[in-house]
Amino acid sequence: MSKKIEKTVTLDILTWKELGNDIQSLVLKAKASAENAHAPYSNFMVGAALLLENGEIFTANNQENVSFPVGICAERVVLSYVQANFPDIIPTKIAIAAKRRNQTEYATVTPCGICRQTISEYEQKFKRPIEVYMLTPKGEVLKAPSMDDLLPFKFSDING
Ligand code: THU
């Protein structure tokens, strides 16, 4: 039999009640931020709320562009802003919520590959996992404990 490297990835499915007050508040902030998305091309409005170790929360949303590839996902907008302005404060948790314009129901959203690599960058910078909370249409929230679960075998120049 050939040799293998195996990794198991796991997402927790949490009901709203199972979330602590801090995560509920983070998800609500992500939902509110989605309303301000600049998404005239996809009409897919995404909000992200980032909790820092000092308890502060920052939010952002996707910013699209008429030249489509220029658009930036909500997760990278908030992470870039926070890292640019507070480079020494550890990001610990991020919540994401998305819905299509004019729909009331939320869509399931998981971070795209570029955002996963970006989140991974800051995990490596601070040597700490970043938990990701992803809202689903039923109001349940998927939790990834770290990028190990969303981006196994990620690129890392330190072979981590
Ligand atoms: N988008 C995000 O902002 N975050 C995600 O996790 C998934 C996708 C944005 C990119 C684009 O503006 C729109 O959603 C549709 O793909």
* Side-chain-side CA neighbours of residue 122 (13 Å): 29
Distance CA 160, CA 156 (A): 6
- Using DSSP's 3-state secondary structure scheme, residue 118 falls into helix
Global model pTM greater than 0.75:
yes
Query: Mean pLDDT, to the nearest integer, of 53-75?
Result: 98
CB of 38 closer than 8 Å to CB of 101: no
CB of 60 closer than 8 Å to CB of 78: yes
Report the nearest-CA residue for atom 6 of ligand 1.
Answer: 111
Query: Mean pLDDT, to the nearest integer, of 89-96?
Result: 98
Distance CA 56, CA 61 (A): 17
Residue 158, pLDDT score? 60
**Residue 56: pLDDT over 70:** yes
Neighbours of 101 (CB within 10 A): 13
Higher pLDDT, 157 or 80: 80
Q: How confident is the prediction for the chain on average, in pLDDT? A: 96
Query: Mean pLDDT, to the nearest integer, of 55-76?
Result: 98
The preferred substitution site among 33, 44, 61, 134 for testing ligand 1, maximizing ligand atoms within 8 Å of CB, is 44
Tell how far the Cα of 74 is from the centroid of ligand 1, in angstroms.
7
